[in-house]
Amino acid sequence: MKYERPLYGDANVPVYKKKLRNKRELDLPAFDFPVTPKENFMLAARRKTPYWMPSSLYDLQSLVSQELVTGNVRGMQCSFDVTRMTPENYTFYDWFNTNWTYVASAGGPMLTPGFVLCEDITQWEKDVVFPDLSEWDFTTAAEEFMKTRYDPTRALHIDIGIGATERLVSVMGGYTEAMLAFAVEPEAVRAFLDRFADFTIEYVDLIARLYPVDMMTYHDDWGTEKDTFWSERMMEEIVYEPTKRIVDHIHSKGILFEFHCCGNIKRFLPYMIDIGMDFLQLQRRANDIPGMKERFGDKIGFNLSIEDTVPGETYAKEEMAEKIRKTVDLYGKGGGAYLNIFAFHPETAWNITSELICYSREYYDRERESAIAARA
């Protein structure tokens, strides 16, 4: 079936008002779907044929760590403040008392050069103070969100931030120091990662009590764009079990697990599948994600960007439509895929949403029809 693309500005088209974290709203086309966006997202997550390819802009409600808390504790904020995007650099302490510099040209924080919290990983229990979650006010933000913003028709997604090995890097002052610790003091590194897993599980429990969360994203970069930071043996002996414990606990709450992991990590993909991760958020330029989807798409899902696009660049409407169609064709098979869309210009956001939903509905109609014909 061919679906009519709703035109921006057409007063006859029903509108879905997407609430943004800056309290603005975007008008996006509303459709007469056979299921809710949340139900459709769950089909994609289970690698079953959805009715359309979901997107972060249309099908999810998203929160990040800093939005979950009100106020700072002893001069420390929970994490990077996504609402404070300034043209100037600034420094801040996070809730592990590690010091960060927001780099305006990069649009994100980097560990402040020269800052070291723990010089000797064998002394981590003395040097690193894990946050006492009871000190932080999570209730105020949760109550406000649930009263004024929560949409039960969308999947609720919460980004819980820095993972175990990234936290190791942050307290030791950088990747060089952390990777030396991996090689020289593997038992101490493993003990630190186990303690971080305990903390993360406590954090997950707190969030799950306050929000009806459907998916959590966990960040732990495991490589450079050339190769992984550590070997398969180190993965098996140091990183695997603490990570699996976190994933298993999130799953025990009925919550999907999404893994953000920068670097060329293809050698670790079998471990990610074995751990049970639901979605991977990987660097396209460092990984053959179409090849991964083709080979492993029945075992793990992928959170994707629109193919052949560069962040910050603008594209004509038809050029963008072609890129969206290419993306659906590359990754759509059997579900297990959804798109990250960072488009906040009203007409651009509308047009991307319109083309993605309509083209992918046509794609999945054909897939569903083929499956029915194959069974006949």
> How many structural domains does the chain have?
1
Q: In this structure, is residue 5 part of a structural domain?
A: no
Domain contains 296: yes
Predicted pLDDT of residue 286: 96
What does the mean pLDDT of the chain come to? Answer: 96
pLDDT digits (tens, 9 = 90+) for 217-262: 999 999 999 999 999 999 999 999 999 999 999 999 999 999 999 9
Extended strands (E) in the chain: 15-19, 25-29, 60-64, 90-93, 99-103, 108-111, 155-162, 215-219, 256-261, 279-282, 301-304, 337-339
Whether pLDDT at 312 is above 90 = no
One-character DSSP codes across 80-122: --TT---SS-EEEEBTT--EEEEETTTTEEEEPTT--S-S-GG
pLDDT (tens digit per residue) in 34-88: 999 999 999 999 999 999 999 999 999 999 999 999 999 999 999 999 888 899 9
Asked if residue 302 has pLDDT above 90, the reply is yes
CB 158 within 8 A of CB 82: no
Stated as kind and residue range, the H or E segment containing 247 is helix 240-252
Q: What pTM, to 2 d.p., does this model score? A: 0.96
The token pair that represents 119 in the structure block: 């010089």
In a domain, 267, yes or no: yes
pLDDT at 297: 97
User: Cα separation of 174 and 176, whole Å?
Assistant: 6
Q: Which amino acid is at 299?
A: K
Stretch 120-140: mean pLDDT: 98
CATH number of the domain at 30, please. Answer: 3.20.20.210
Region of residue 75 (phi > 0: left; psi between -120 and 50: alpha; otherwise: beta): left
Does a structural domain hold residue 252?
A: yes
Spatial distance between the Cα atoms of 143 and 297, rounded to a whole number of angstroms: 38
Q: Which burial class, exposed, middle or buried, applies to 207 when counting CB atoms under 10 A from its CB (0-12, 13-18, 19+)?
A: buried
Give the mean model confidence (pLDDT) for residues 158-178.
97
In a domain, 104, yes or no: no
Nearest-angstrom CA–CA distance, 197 and 208: 16
Q: Is 246 a member of any domain?
A: yes
Look at residue 105 and tell me if it is in a domain: no
Residue 22 pLDDT exceeds 90: no
For 317, residues 6+ apart whose C-beta sits below 8 A from its C-beta are 351
Q: How many helices (H) and strands (E) does the chain have?
A: 13, 12
- Which SS3 state, helix, strand or coil, does residue 209 take? helix
Query: In which domain, by residue range, is 252 found?
Result: 16-87+116-375
C-alpha angle 290/295/297, rounded to 5°? Answer: 80
* Confidence band, pLDDT 50/70/90 cuts, at residue 1: confident
Query: What pLDDT score was predicted for residue 23?
Result: 74
For 303, the token pair is 């959170």
For 319-372, strand residue ranges (E) read: 337-339
| Within-domain flag for 71 | yes
